[in-house]
A and B are shown apart, each in its own frame.
Chain A
Amino acid sequence: MQKLVFYILFLLLANNCFAQIDSSKKSEKLMEEIVITSTRTETKLSNVAVPTKIISKKYIQQTGALKLQDILQDQTGLVIVNSNLSTSLNGYPNPFSQGIQMLGLDPAYTAVLIDGEPLVGRNAGILKLGRLATGNIKQIEIVKGPSSSLYGSEAMAGVINILTDLPLNENAQAQLHASSNNTFAQTLSYSNRQEKMGVQLFMNRYSTDGYDLDNTTYGKTIDPYRDWTMNVKLTQTISPKTKMLVSFRNFDSKQDNNYQIIWQTAPAIVKGYTKEKDNSLFTQLTNNTTKNSKLFFRIFYNNYDNNSFVNLENTETRFDETSFIQSILKPEIQLESNSLNRKYIAGIGTYFETIDASRYAGKQKLTTAYTFTQNEWYFLQKKLTLIAGARLDKRTDYSINLSPRIAIAFKPTNHWKFTTSAGYGFKAPDFRHMYLNFYNAQIGYSLIGANILSDELTRLQQSGELENGIDISPYLIKNILLPEKSFGTHLGAAYSSPNLNIEMGLFRNDINNLIDVYLLPFKKTSNRSIYSYHNTNRIYTQGAEFDFKYIVSKHISLALGYQYLEAKDKAVIEEINAGKLYRRDPITYKTSLVTKADYFGLNNRSRNTFNAKITLEDQKRGLLFLFRFAFRGKYAFTDVDGDNIADNDKEFVKSYTIANFTMSKKISNHLTTQVGVDNFLNYTNSLQMPNIAGKLFFINVNYSINHLINKN
């Protein structure tokens, strides 16, 4: 059905546009880059005081990449990591999902927004990046450092805001994509703005056969799937002062499940599907109350639904199923006021969240009320900017949380900018930490959320499922988890000239109350262990980043980025200092004290990451070659020898480089083709990095028509 609608629309649009082909080129006026995420108001990038990076539409198009992770992986300071999922189907062979690590923090601590509104549906804190198609992205804004002062929980490491296209002058685009593994994608977008109304349509279908990195095991590493993405945006000028925006987004995905398990002591095949649906509706009214002030009224609704099952192939009986439905409703009002030397914003809103998941105890609801305010002052003819802001969050189950932030930017000349910022971040315990009630039949343990632990233990004891003579009273006190809290600072310096851009930054984050799994000191009568969550860890991450962009000539440009990162557990360092932490040599079995030099740091963090982009362009011939490299230094994977820190080769993943190449050729004003190879060095690691496919060849055909309407 959706396919049919797609093609009908395509034909209609094609007819409409082809009749009025206009050869006039889109006016390419050099505009200063504007960002919105850092301060929640439109600000020139060059004036922003908090560390902010942008990825432009032009760059996304040059890469030819269709999924978000392919764009983010070569950005300095962003690392695409494989993190463990907390729950999946029993026996499911791939326990990882790809998420974004920012400033050395896990994916759960970065807020991912689409047009300023949250993307929901996290599994163990990870948002599946493949859910986001790139075709309608106007700009990606990346803000590093605690941003809870504007965005609340989840924005502890930073914010990635994906801004999508807005209605423009009449414009239609179509793209066909084909690549290895029988991967096909079709994209169609249409935009038009006439008089008081604007419309923007976007559709993308993506399907692939998946891939297999290990022929010795049954089933594929990644099973076949197909994704649909649709986005409709309407804008309407209601009165000279009032504008309205309505945006509807739909994502629909279906993936095969097909793997081997052990069923009644014999191998058996299970098959099924995972279906994912994500629908959101966003409405915004903008009112220019006075010449210098605006009011925004926003309502955002999102429903995320993930259902999966597998049946035993032989008997067609259900082996396992899971469901996860999360919905949020978020009304918000924001005020913005501008004067010559001051900019002020304030907002108030509520976040209603519901979750109904098969592995959580019952249907759960949470409500968070919040308010934020921020002042931006300019001094010395705008050479000096000072920002101070704070946000209050009150969730039903814990006390008020205050997240302040300050930032200063100083631009002594047109070329130099110095910035410094400091802020508090927090992350509220999520549903998983509070309500998970999961029994892993294959390995044999129970994981029980902190809020339901007392009830569950009482129930288990009454039904005789706990060991005899156990005292559960210490666990009957309602164990309310505290929010995880962080304090981050950043120091930056940037030099820019028309051909050269250099940015340097130093950062440090201290995080307290990190929530972690712990083992209860008693077991079930079946001798199965019980785990729950508590606030325990204190960690820090610190490092330096460096970005270098140089336009060598009309034809060649170069971009290099590097991040040095240290991420360590403070308790481990204290143990080392106190001479309490031991390690055992895996070869000699000799035990010795761990020294500071032995301690590499937290799992999944690379000390060194590096990226490089080389662009070769011949505008005359309409040719563009883009090489992209993302190097990730070695990182700790797991503890093998029982000292709880990674300190020998078996416990690390070796460094690797993902290299991509794209060639674009402009054939006419309307037609561009691209061919390329993703991961041309063919890096694969079926065990530790199963979500990285090997070498992939692709071809894109882009057709676009612009029709500028002269309204006068």
Chain B
Amino acid sequence: MKRVLFFGLLASVAFSACKKSSTTNQSATDISGIKTISVAFDQLASQPFTLFRFSDSSVIANTDSASNNWDFGIRFTTFIVNSYAGGPGNAGVIMQNNIFDSVKSAPTSGYAYDTTSAQRAIKDGSWYTYNSQSHVFVPKAGKVFIFKTADGSHYAKMELLSVENGPVVPPAQTPTILYYTFRYSYKANGSPTF
């Protein structure tokens, strides 16, 4: 047990170090670390998607949705990628059953796109299990998302670690925010090798 804790501590130190560097990084450098973003706890179609860009690890305003400035977006548990029905970009994704560290390179073909609004690259429900006791969406372990970014010329690998419910403030019964935490790695020079 002690050993696990020790490793846990080591890991978290390592990640926080990465995180620090990633937030200050600009698009010119590689990014590798853990990121948490907040997404509205709202499944209605009127709710705008929370958009994310890998190259500088930032959340992009939804007003900028008709651009190549973002790679994927989340509404509640629905993922979009920036292509076709999702947006004007060329972003695609491959969901691989693998261990994050074992994914050494991104495939050159086989990417799924948001072909239509009913046929998304990432199927809703494909990446989580819902725990009816704790009412949380738990990302399935061993699922690695390999992204081709919106500009079509960069690669990133991503793994969802957790989706946590924000605080519930009575009299509301549900939280207002979901916290998505994921680990990802982005290559700035366009190389498919991680």
Asked if residues B140 and A642 are in contact (CB atoms below 8 Å), the reply is: yes
Asked if residues B141 and A643 are in contact (CB atoms below 8 Å), the reply is: yes
How far apart sit A266 and B172, CA to CA, in the bound complex (Å)? 8
Q: Is A340 an interface residue (CB 8 A)?
A: no
User: Which residue of A is nearest B44, CB measured?
Assistant: A527
Kindly count the residue-residue contacts between A and B in the assembled complex, taking CB atoms under 8 Å apart. 82
**Contact flag A582-B131 (CB < 8 Å), given A265-B172, A589-B161, A643-B140:** no
B residues in contact with A523, CB < 8 Å: 124
Which of A275-283, A590-598, A605-613, A700-708 contacts its partner? A590-598
Quote the shortest CB–CB distance from A536 to chain B (angstroms): 16
Q: Is A480 an interface residue (CB 8 A)?
A: no
Q: Is B4 an interface residue (CB 8 A)?
A: yes
Which of A582-634 touch B at CB < 8 Å?
Answer: 582-585, 587-593
Q: Is A555 an interface residue (CB 8 A)?
A: no
Per-residue 0/1 for B86-123: is the Cβ within 8 Å of any A Cβ (1 yes, 0 no)?
A: 00000000000101100000000000000010100001
Asked if residues A583 and B141 are in contact (CB atoms below 8 Å), the reply is: yes
A residues in contact with B76, CB < 8 Å: 527
B residues in contact with A356, CB < 8 Å: none
B118: contacting residue among A467, A592, A640, CB under 8 A: A467
A residues in contact with B133, CB < 8 Å: 638
Q: Is A223 an interface residue (CB 8 A)?
A: no
Q: Is A56 an interface residue (CB 8 A)?
A: no
How far apart sit A225 and B118, CA to CA, in the bound complex (Å)? 51
A residues in contact with B159, CB < 8 Å: 591
**Contact flag A592-B99 (CB < 8 Å), given A470-B118, A584-B161:** yes
**Contact flag A265-B173 (CB < 8 Å), given A589-B161, A638-B133:** yes
Q: Is B167 an interface residue (CB 8 A)?
A: no
Q: Is A503 an interface residue (CB 8 A)?
A: no
Quote the shortest CB–CB distance from A587 to chain B (angstroms): 4
**Contact flag A519-B100 (CB < 8 Å), given A265-B172, A265-B173, A641-B141:** no
A584: contacting residue among B7, B132, B141, CB under 8 A: B141
Per-residue 0/1 for A640-656: is the Cβ within 8 Å of any B Cβ (1 yes, 0 no)?
A: 11111000000000000
How far apart sit A519 and B8, CA to CA, in the bound complex (Å)? 35
Q: Is A581 an interface residue (CB 8 A)?
A: yes
Quote the shortest CB–CB distance from A524 to chain B (angstroms): 11
B residues in contact with A267, CB < 8 Å: 170-171
Number of interface residues of A (CB under 8 A): 34
Q: Is B21 an interface residue (CB 8 A)?
A: no
A residues in contact with B139, CB < 8 Å: 642
Q: Is A521 an interface residue (CB 8 A)?
A: yes
B8: contacting residue among A587, A638, A643, CB under 8 A: A587
Which of B124-158 touch A at CB < 8 Å?
Answer: 124-125, 128-135, 138-143
Quote the shortest CB–CB distance from B175 to chain A (angstroms): 14
**Contact flag A587-B5 (CB < 8 Å), given A443-B132, A639-B131, A642-B140:** yes
User: Which residue of A is nearest B10, CB measured?
Assistant: A588
Quote the shortest CB–CB distance from A641 to chain B (angstroms): 6
Per-residue 0/1 for A260-274: is the Cβ within 8 Å of any B Cβ (1 yes, 0 no)?
A: 001001110000000
How far apart sit A266 and B123, CA to CA, in the bound complex (Å)? 35
Per-residue 0/1 for A455-481: is the Cβ within 8 Å of any B Cβ (1 yes, 0 no)?
A: 000000000000111100000000000
Q: Is A580 an interface residue (CB 8 A)?
A: yes
Asked if residues B140 and A588 are in contact (CB atoms below 8 Å), the reply is: no
Asked if residues A588 and B11 are in contact (CB atoms below 8 Å), the reply is: yes
Per-residue 0/1 for A516-548: is the Cβ within 8 Å of any B Cβ (1 yes, 0 no)?
A: 000101010001010000000000000000000
Give chain A's interface residues, CB within 8 Å of chain B: 262, 265-267, 443, 467-470, 519, 521, 523, 527, 529, 580-585, 587-593, 638-644
